[in-house]
Copies of this chain bind each other. A is one copy, B any other.
């Protein structure tokens, strides 16, 4: 008996059957299937400091801000918090203050669009930039899968640029621009995560940041700077990031409006608010000669995607910002300490279990953020993840999910954000067992073969 069917996947937008959109689903399903496994896969923020009472406090703090600081009447306060509202958001002035305080970045609040998480910010920017089928996006590979997925939904091809240990290979970027143009394509922008990138963990140094900006100007490219992890350097000192040698953001170095800056509060305030933003101060000329901000074009698009970001969710973020004088560096002292501790613990633990000289296992040592990439002497695919989960009780993310070409990859991503040091120890013991068994298995197969 065949089941009644109303539609076929082939009749829907091709993105729904694309690996980029199915990757997260697949990883979530594996995680749900093995709920007792140690997860070094999840990039979620630490939950230890979560506090439902803070929701009420932040809401009330922002309500008082509207009344006391902005002089809104009770009726206006009600309208701001509960009614349809400004498409570009109601916490834009606080976001601008935050960027000034934490990033020494001066931004016109009117150039900010508050979005439903950073994901919507990326989606709006890609929708605006994909004007016709010649348009392509460049992105440092490996790439955050949310970027690839959003591009897929918008029929915007993503062409990889080599990342490498320096975070971006500038010669390759220039070459990819040339190749795309030679093929009649129009590279609109290059997506990059300069600080503690997901998934690679790498950062771009100050000199390369300046070179990247110069290259963008020469090649007439925009840079999409995504910065969810910048406040989490893993310095032993526990000093705040601005005093710990982290270079300025691309946007802070940008004197020619080449950078569209994508911001997230998911890791610094809380994921459940689903509040992010985009700084888009580029000047856009209309057909009639008027000049406005790219932010206003993004807002028009937003009005047809989500209308506006929930003012209640914005109020929670706004209250959290106000509570700390708009400094998220100040707000995340505990989180920074926990992530730094975990990252150091993971790297030390890898060194103990895979000694240089005797083990072929390699990894990078990120200066901060959530992720470490481990390279092993065999292919790392979804089948291996299943074996790891089932046989060893350990979850991680195959790096192949962050490349778009389906080529074999011999690396996996470990995340330290949602675990304790004890779970890291347990997870690394299991990883060592997995690696030993896989190495032995392959050696045996090689002898037989």
Contact = CB atoms under 8 A, between A and B. Distances in A.
A203 interface: no
A75 to B, nearest CB: 7
Contacts of A130: 13
A182 interface: no
Nearest to A58: B312
Greatest chain B CB density within 10 A among A14, A128, A312 is at: A312
A290 B63 CA distance: 50
A106 interface: no
Interface in A44-70: 44-45, 47, 50-52, 55-56, 59, 63
Contact of A274 (B45, B59, B307): B307
A271 interface: yes
Nearest to A286: B9
A420 to B, nearest CB: 13
A123 B304 contact: yes
Contacts of A422: none
A128 B78 contact: no
A72 to B, nearest CB: 12
Contacts of A266: 84
A123 B150 CA distance: 14
Interface stretch (A19-27, A190-198, A235-243, A367-375): A19-27
A283 B82 contact: no
B128 A12 contact: yes
Interface residues of A, number: 85
A312 B55 contact: yes
Interface string A120-156: 1001000111110000000000000010011011000
Given A16-B297, A82-B50, A153 B307 contact: no
Copies of this chain, count: 2
Contacts of A311: 272
A380 interface: no
A352 interface: no
B11 A306 contact: no
Of all A-B residue pairs in the complex, the 5 with the closest CB atoms, nearest first, are: A149-B304, A274-B310, A6-B282, A82-B272, A116-B306
21 contacts: A3-B283, A8-B284, A8-B285, A9-B284, A9-B286, A9-B297, A11-B131, A13-B131, A21-B303, A44-B83, A50-B78, A52-B82, A84-B271, A84-B272, A116-B306, A116-B307, A153-B304, A272-B312, A274-B307, A305-B305, A312-B316
Interface of A: 3-17, 20-22, 24-25, 44-45, 47, 50-52, 55-56, 59, 63, 75, 77-79, 81-85, 116-117, 119-120, 123, 127-131, 146, 149-150, 152-153, 257, 266, 270-275, 282-287, 291, 294, 297, 300-301, 303-313, 316
